[in-house]
Amino acid sequence: MQMIELENFKILGISLAIGLLIGLERGWHTRDLDEGMRVAGLRTYGLISLLGGLWGILAQQIDPVLMGFAFLGLTSVLLLAYSRSLNKFEDFSITSIIASLITFTLGALTAFDHIKLASASAVVITSLLGYKPLLHGWLKKLEQQELYATLKLLLISVVMLPILPDQGYGPWAAFNPYHIWWMVVLIAGISYLGYFAIRIVGNQHGPVLTGALGGLVSSTAVTLNLSKLSTQYPNMENVLSAGILTACATMFARTLLLTSVMNTTLFRVLLPALLVMCLFTYFLAFLLWRNARGFRTSEEVTLENPFQLGMALKFGAFLVVIMLLSKLLKVYFGDMGTYFLAATSGLADVDPITLSMSQMSKEGLEVTVAAKAILIAVSVNSGIKGIFSWVIGGRALALRVGSTLVGAIVAGLLIT
């Protein structure tokens, strides 16, 4: 009996702490109001959570149905208090009411042996309430196309992906709808996060930060944009080169990330080479940035809409073509056919060949062949960026970008 009483004291203590935590944020939010002018404050939230803990203990002893009556009773009291305050302040927000009901529920959860869940939820809820200005600031920056992009990404990942068949179709069973669409979701998710990182942080903080975040979306787009700025801002080649190289280094890291998700065996084979390429490029970008003069511009680096359904379908179709061609060329031309396809694919994008090789190496393709194909694609794509920087940005920019990328490729290939 004594042990039970001690356990109940522990439960009530945690319930009270949870309520005080949420009440601390709510009380601080309404700290400028006079005493008695708020519906609930620090003490009230503590008492609400404690009430949940007490009713939880009673419900366990008598009948769990009591929790429903207690919840309805608290809801009635809160609604009455809210309606009275509404006449005085015309505050139509129901956040505090919902927070109060959640606080009661969390207090009750501790009594039903869900202490960790209740404590973690309290921290998350308090953070969510406290970050209101930040979240509303993000919401004001959100454009309509970005909202639609978010909904479309959820559509293809949460709705479409689970219902696709997970089996191969067509020649060599190369077309697996689930695997293909999973790759599309993976690429779209990474690009989506990189795009919104740029939108939240802003790309006015310098080309290097833009390169680091923009490389998650498209290192080619960053290269093209910063190369154009080189013609408008002469003698700024160091800082612009640093931005381009940072995006290229992020592309190496992105390739590693994709292989780590798709195929851990291939990831381990690629890790030494791509890690050397990544660190070498980041290091040279850092040196160029250190030796650069201050750079200020009102122009932004233009990135595409974070998610377009049409582009996702085209990317998926491109993946199917790459995988079919990989099988075909492997059958008729051996490893050289795979390498040729990798070089051709690298002219446009590294992601399709990376995903294709990652999947095919799980289906029987030699890991060393897949790794070499990805390295070829990465090398060709890096060479294309060097050419872009020369044609668009000029010789000075190209020397910095091109020589660094060549050095990175050579260093990476030497240790393979």
Is the model's pLDDT at 397 over the cut of 80? yes
Asked if 280 and 407 touch (Cβ cutoff 8 Å), the reply is yes
Backbone phi, then psi, for 175, in 5-degree steps? -100, 105
Residue 295 has pLDDT above 60, yes or no: no
Amino acid at 253: A
Give the length of the chain.
416
Min mean pLDDT across 90-99, 113-122, 315-324 is at 90-99
Looking at every residue in the chain, the average pLDDT score rounds to 81
pLDDT at 204 exceeding the cut of 60: no
pLDDT band (50, 70, 90) for residue 267: very high
Most confident of the following: 134-138, 141-145, 340-344: 340-344
* 281 or 153, greater pLDDT: 281
What mean pLDDT is predicted for residues 162-166? 86
Question: Which residues fall within 8 angstroms of residue 201, CB to CB, at 6 or more apart?
Answer: 209, 213
Tokens of 401: 């970008």
Q: What is the pLDDT of residues 41-82, one digit of tens each?
A: 778 888 999 999 999 988 888 888 888 888 999 888 888 877
Q: CA triplet 127, 132, 138: central angle to 5 degrees?
A: 115
Contacts of 173 (CB under 8 A, 6+ apart): 167
Percent above pLDDT 90 for the chain: 18
Q: What is the pTM of this model?
A: 0.65
Encoded tokens for 27 = 């009380």
Contact 190, 254 (CB under 8 A): yes
| CA distance linking residue 320 with residue 316, whole number of Å | 6
Higher-confidence residue of 410 and 141: namely 410
Q: pLDDT (tens digit, 9 = 90+) per residue, 17-34?
A: 998 988 888 777 665 555
The residue ranking higher by pLDDT, 360 or 378, is: 378
DSSP state of 300: -
| Three-class DSSP category at 175 | strand
In sequence order, the 6+-apart residues with CB closer than 8 A to the CB of 51 are: 70, 74, 104, 107
| Average pLDDT of the segment spanning 319-329 | 79
**pLDDT higher than threshold 70 for residue 257:** yes
Residue 301 has pLDDT above 60, yes or no: no
Name the more confident of 2 and 377.
Answer: 377
Measured between alpha carbons, how far is 288 from 296 in angstroms, rounded to an integer? 16
More confident residue, 88 or 342: 342
pLDDT digit string, tens, across residues 112-132: 888 899 999 999 888 888 877
Position 173 scores a pLDDT of 64
Does the structure show a pLDDT above 70 at 36? no
Whole-angstrom distance, CA of residue 314 vs CA of residue 187? 13
| Nearest Cα residue to 253 out of 214, 306, 216, 303 | 216
- Give residue 298's pLDDT band: very low, low, confident or very high (50, 70, 90): very low
In this structure, the dihedral spanned by the alpha carbons of residues 187, 189, 192 and 194, taken in order and rounded to 10 degrees, is -80
Angle formed at CA 90 by CA 84 and CA 94, multiple of 5 degrees: 75
- Consecutive H or E run containing 200: helix 177-201
Name the band, by pLDDT with cuts 50, 70 and 90, for residue 304.
low
Q: What percent of the chain has pLDDT over 70?
A: 82
Instruction: Could you list the beta-strand ranges (E) of 136-207.
Output: none
| Most confidently modeled range among 201-205, 366-370, 391-395 | 366-370
* Cα(251)–Cα(339) distance, integer angstroms: 20
Residue 106 confidence (pLDDT) above 80: yes
Main-chain dihedrals φ then ψ at residue 170, nearest 5 degrees: 80, -170
